[in-house]
Amino acid sequence: MPPKFLFPQIPTSQVATSVGDPVDPQALEQAKAIVSSIKDAPNKSSALLEKAKAFGDMQKDEESYVVPNEELKKAYDNLVEEQREALDRIHARVLAFATAQRASITDITIPIPGGSAGHRVTACTTAGCYAPGGRYPLPSSVIMTCVTARAAGCERVVCSSPRPAAITLAAAYVSKCDIFIRVGGAQAIAAMAYGIPSTSTIPSIPRADVIVGPGNKWVTAAKSIVNGFCGIDMLAGPSEVLVICDDTADPKIVAADLIAQAEHDVVARPLLISNSQEMIDKVTEESEKQLEAMPEPNRTTALTAFSTGFKVLCGSMEECVKVSDEIAPEHLEIQTVDAMNVGMSCKSYGGLFIGSDAAEVMGDYGAGPNHTLPTGGTGRYTGGLSVFNFLGIRTWMRIDDRMASQQMVNDTAVMARLEGLEGHARAADARVVEEKK
């Protein structure tokens, strides 16, 4: 007997309680042990190889976790023409968007008393990019992470993914990945965070300055462990989509978009907010109908995910926006009258998809903006992966005219003594220009 379709409707008062901790406590303990076993191992390469095989990242007879560049090229060359051309076009769109992002922030210089100050925008040296490799290969995540790092200006790009399919290797090739390792989970994060020295048969893995990319709960837990030793993009929880719709929406399209998100994982969250109970009922009915026609295992996965999602009836479109901002969803679709204005009134989300034709799945597969987005309410204070995750904005100042800087010298000494830091004050006093008699 098929599982019962469950898509609960909740009042607006319960919405704020729907967000959970992105780091699973049990996964955190397990990740700590895995990360330590590699970080503290006398032979890090052997430890990584052992863990990769133990967790099924590699075949037992494989002796190197590093995939040679020629194997990446071969995977690309062996694609059928339609696949190869689609991969090239997706790469080009993501690259164009990331390149435009990089061009939007530049070095600056402004005058200060007696000199100049400014900032320089520079990329980190090595980027670590993770792409999941579970039930479904995710070459799109390879493109989203590696291409963005390249556009930012990173000198080296390391990509990791367990049990990589040919399309994943091909995506790494078009993304100009320098090193690809067939390792996943917490062990991959540890390898990129701490680096792995070379052996007589396996090249080294350089230590990453920043690690980015989506992953399962062990990946997320491991990223929380290494954060601080290196940078990370975010701690991502279960994937989610929220559709705001009114009575003008097409329930078939809304249902299709909810199902597309639900098939990701049993803990993915399809969310629906509307000012129309009739539309909520139509979408619910259509979702159940479309799920019946889905193949397995996608159908069962999506059915389970719907039980973790919810739908909310609001009294107005303004209340829909307010509730959405409280949730701060990873993906936010607007399917309403005047969708652009409704979308622009929303403040908290990862990625915004305006109008019924702007399908979230097209964002997943390379319309341009990145698909690595904040989940679990973190969209309240951060955005998705971008070139900015790989950039450092480093300030500088210089004084060319000591006399012209004297007021600033005096202000510095005054503030230092107000804080009780006499050494600071005296360092400023050392720059005082004595008046000539």
Alpha-carbon distances of 322 from 55, 350, 380, 404, rounded to whole Å: 43, 16, 12, 52
For the question of residue 371 being annotated catalytic, the response is no
Residue 424: both structure tokens together: 């600071």
DSSP secondary structure letter of residue 366: T
> CB–CB of 91/143 below 8 Å?
yes
Residues 6+ apart with CB under 8 A from 352: 332, 334, 343, 346
Residue type, 61: D
For the question of residue 331 being annotated catalytic, the response is yes
Q: How far apart are the first and last CA of the chain?
A: 101
Q: For the residues of 352-376, what is the DSSP string, one character each?
A: EEESTTS-HHHHHTTSSS-S----T
The residue from 264, 331, 333, 360 that is catalytic is 331
For residue 138, give the 3-state DSSP assignment: coil
**Greatest CA separation for the chain:** 101
Residue 78: both structure tokens together: 């062996």
The residue from 286, 330, 333, 360 that is catalytic is 330
Residue 428: both structure tokens together: 């400023």
Angle at 127 between CA 167 and CA 121, to 5 degrees: 130
- Catalytic residue numbers? 330-331
